[in-house]
A and B are shown apart, each in its own frame.
Chain A
Amino acid sequence: MEGHADAQTISGIHTTCQFNTKIFYPDGTTPALWSSDALDNADFDADKLSFHADGCAISLNGDGTSYSVKSVTNEASIVNLTVSQAAPGFHVGKDGKSYFGTDLKNPWGSMRHGFWPRCHVEGSIITKAGEIDFKGRGLFIHALQGMKPHHAGIYPCPIACLFYSD
Chain B
Amino acid sequence: MKKYLSLLLLSVGLMLWPGASCNQARLEPGGFYAQTNTVPDLTFYQVDATYDFTSYALIAAFSFEKQNRDALWKINPNIKHTLDQLRPQFVEYGRQYLKARDAYKAMPVPANLTVMQQVLAKMQQLAASANAVIPKAK
Same complex for A and B? Answer no
Which A residues fall within an 8 A CB radius of B? none
